[in-house]
Structure 1
Amino acid sequence: MLLFVLWVPCWAAQAPPPPADLTQRAGFDQRLGAQVPLDARFADADGRPVALRTLVHGKPLLLALGYYRCPNLCDVVLNGMAHTLARLDLEPGRDFEVAFVSIDPRETPADASHARTMLARMHPDARVPRWHFLTGDRASIGALAQAVGFRYFYDARLQQYAHAAGLVAITPDGKVAQYFFGVSWPPASLRLALVDASRGRLGNLVDRLVLLCCGYDPTTGRYSLAIGRSMQALGVAFVLALALWMLWLRRRARA
């Protein structure tokens, strides 16, 4: 134990510093409304070919990019996804689709299958077997990453990929709808994003009213109370109420 305690700070001191242009080379560029390449082809965890078009057949898609052999961030993202989706009343595979796409063209369906098995074992309530764990070639990965604004690069010094963390909600016709940054997301906000991205296929009247009062904030990747929209609605309601009251008074005076 003593040797381990002494080794950790030594390893940290010897680890190379991050590149000076890290934030320019790795991150998210929000491209709301952008079209994802629906004809891009990947392989699922069982080795079967999958086109993105088949994943968005009438359902919104929740997309994450990373890689299965990632020693740090991607495990946190996958576990955060499972933790959040287990708390939704919407079900993957039935109401929406979930896809995790590897950015490493060297990874194989065996890597995806291993990640699926481990995640399903840790989160039995998240319906992980219904998710899509995909691998692909450099061209397909690059086309998808560019479409959703996902910037990443391979750091040969660390022998790791540098990349951002977050989710992308995609509409049934393959358009980028919303972004959720980080590794933890409020289930209520994620549900609203899926309902909004579904173009009326999901949700109920309560969801519609909530979406009217809340707006998607692209700077935070979350839903927040749309103050301006709410004030406009209240103003219109007040004017209508005042007009009806004056009309009632006029009719009463004539009577």
Structure 2
Amino acid sequence: MNTFGRERRLRTIVLIAALAVFACTQALAGVPPPPDLDARAGFDQHIGAPLPMNAALTDADGRATSLAAIANGKPVLLAFGYYRCPNLCDLTLHGIASVVARLSLRVGDDYAVAFVSIAPDETPADAREARDMLVRMMPRGGAEHWRWTTAGPPSIAALTRTAGFRYFKDPRDGQYVHPAGILIVSPNGRVTQYVFGVDYDPHALRLALVDASEGRLGNVVDRLVLLCCGYDPSTGRYSLLVSRLMIALGCAFLLAMGFGALWLRRRAP
């Protein structure tokens, strides 16, 4: 299968969770899903794209902010959705809280979590309600340290377009149809990785944040793993790179040989 075929298949898989939830909800409500759903909602991976970090946002306390201010030199775990979402966004938020609770990295200190509403009519009060509810339901998820934001149409359009986040508002019921997943953003605002779905692996997410931190986070083990692995946009995961592994093993062998020769020389009479 060529690269185009893999990416097309990946986009289809990414939408399964979102479309399944949406379709079930609409079926129960008696409203069939739009026929062009797959073409209008989804993730287009824009790895390396510079996000408009100074786009105007408003936080849950009504203060003006931006992704640049939220990042403040740290990598950002970024999610799009809306606070009044009746289904998918709740799953995404709980998935983020669950993985944050299992990470050794400290939210707010080592990295930032930002949620940006795609509904321009939502207010800081909506953001506070969602934040407080998640804090009560998942106290170990650190949601009180996340940045819950709203924005006007220009900022929403600029951020989602650059991030490759495609969505639309269904006029039949007023709900937004959108994909499920998160983005990892470097401190300087470049998209470094996409993580799809609503269930996130803590080990993979730690690697993604360490990789995006530009040397600020991580330990020797993280560096060795990243040396032998690379992010594969066609799968949305870190994959073992045989060539890097062989280089790492070769270097380790040469170091071992060098230390062995030095040890033998010192033991010689």
Deviation at 1:17, TM superposition (A): 2.3
- Quick one: percent identity of the two aligned structures? 58
* Aligned counterpart in structure 2 of residue 30 of structure 1, from 30, 34, 45: 45
What is the alpha-carbon distance in structure 1 between the residues aligned to residue 72 and residue 27 of structure 2?
A: 47
Deviation at 1:56, TM superposition (A): 1.8
Alignment check: 8 A CA contact 1:64 1:166 kept = yes
Deviation at 1:16, TM superposition (A): 2.7
> 2:75 is matched by which residue type in structure 1?
P
> 2:218 is matched by which residue type in structure 1?
G
What is the alpha-carbon distance in structure 1 between the residues aligned to residue 247 and residue 240 of structure 2?
A: 13
5+ residue gaps in structure 1?
Answer: 1-8, 248-255
C-alpha distance after superposition, 1:106-164 (max 9, x if no partner): 10000000000000111111111110010010110110001111000001123211101
What is the alpha-carbon distance in structure 1 between the residues aligned to residue 154 and residue 208 of structure 2?
A: 29
What is the alpha-carbon distance in structure 2 between the residues aligned to residue 179 and residue 118 of structure 1?
A: 26
1:227 aligns with: 242
5+ residue gaps in structure 2?
Answer: 1-23, 262-269
2:227 aligns with: 212
* Aligned counterpart in structure 2 of residue 145 of structure 1, from 154, 160, 169: 160
- What is the CA RMSD across the aligned residues, in angstroms? 2.3
* Aligned counterpart in structure 1 of residue 36 of structure 2, from 14, 17, 21: 21
Deviation at 1:53, TM superposition (A): 1.4
* Aligned counterpart in structure 1 of residue 111 of structure 2, from 92, 96, 110: 96
Q: After the TM superposition, which of the residue ranges 130-139 and 207-216 deviates more from structure 2?
A: 207-216
What is the alpha-carbon distance in structure 2 between the residues aligned to residue 14 and residue 42 of structure 1?
A: 33
Q: After the TM superposition, which of the residue ranges 152-161 and 187-196 deviates more from structure 2?
A: 152-161
Alignment check: 8 A CA contact 1:47 1:109 kept = yes
Q: Which has the larger radius of gyration?
A: 1
Alignment check: 8 A CA contact 2:228 2:248 kept = no
Within the alignment, does 1:157 sit opposite 2:185 as a pair? no
* Aligned counterpart in structure 1 of residue 62 of structure 2, from 47, 60, 75: 47
Q: Would the alpha carbon gap of residues 110 and 230 (structure 1) be closer, same or farther in structure 2, given more than 3 Å must change?
A: same
TM-score (norm 2): 0.82
Q: How many residues align?
A: 236
Alignment check: 8 A CA contact 1:33 1:176 kept = yes
Within the alignment, does 1:71 sit opposite 2:86 as a pair? yes
Q: Would the alpha carbon gap of residues 230 and 122 (structure 1) be closer, same or farther in structure 2, given more than 3 Å must change?
A: same
Within the alignment, does 1:12 sit opposite 2:16 as a pair? no
Alignment check: 8 A CA contact 1:77 1:165 kept = yes
Alignment check: 8 A CA contact 1:181 1:220 kept = no
What is the alpha-carbon distance in structure 1 between the residues aligned to residue 173 and residue 233 of structure 2?
A: 32
